Amino acid sequence: MNQEIISHMTQFWRKPTADKLRALRYHFKTGLWNHFCPQIPFPTRLPHGGWWLARNDLLSDAVFARICDGSDVKFLERFLREATTVVDIGAHLGFYTLLMSSRVGTQGRVLAFEPSPREFRHLRTHIRINGRANVRLENADMLTASNRSLSLL
């Protein structure tokens, strides 16, 4: 058992500093915070600016540990331009909505659709605490929204 612990410690210390910090953040959030304070969201800064209320869920754990900077984030950062309009279908808690909002700027618009009332409440909270006036939220799926003849643009 002691040899196994020493092996894990050795592997950990050989990692680059950024990887060590990411691992420590992840284990703090998933091990301590989620265990002792599961109902209290933990405010954390997003890599692209803005704030995220990290709750007791997998996405929040990944956001808090800064392990959600995948190829899709890099694509959106390269693809989106100022003053464009984008649609986020299935916005969930708003991670990509906030990224899109920051990329298109104040002259751009983000239309975010989330049909789940529970996820929509968290999405709305994330948009409000970040003061994103260029985001329009719809608590509906695309079919319902098109049937109501929404004036989106």
Q: How far apart are CA 9 and CA 11, in angstroms?
A: 5
In sequence order, what E strands does 39-132 have?
Answer: 42-45, 51-54, 85-89, 109-113
Local confidence band at 67 (pLDDT 50, 70, 90 cut-offs): confident
pLDDT digit string, tens, across residues 30-60 = 999 999 999 999 999 998 889 999 999 999 9
pLDDT digit string, tens, across residues 8-21 = 889 989 999 989 98
Q: Tell me the pairing of strands 42-45 and 109-113.
A: unpaired
Q: How far apart are CA 12 and CA 23, in angstroms?
A: 9
The residues spanned by each domain of the chain are 17-69, 79-144
pLDDT digit string, tens, across residues 87-124 = 999 999 999 999 999 999 999 999 999 999 999 999 99
Give me the helix-helix angle, 2-14 and 17-27, nearest 10°.
130
Q: Which CATH class is domain 79-144?
A: alpha beta
Residue 152 has pLDDT above 60, yes or no: no
**Adjacency order of strands within the sheet including 85-89:** 85-89, 109-113, 135-138
> Which pLDDT does position 48 carry in this prediction?
87
Rounded to two decimals, the pTM is: 0.83
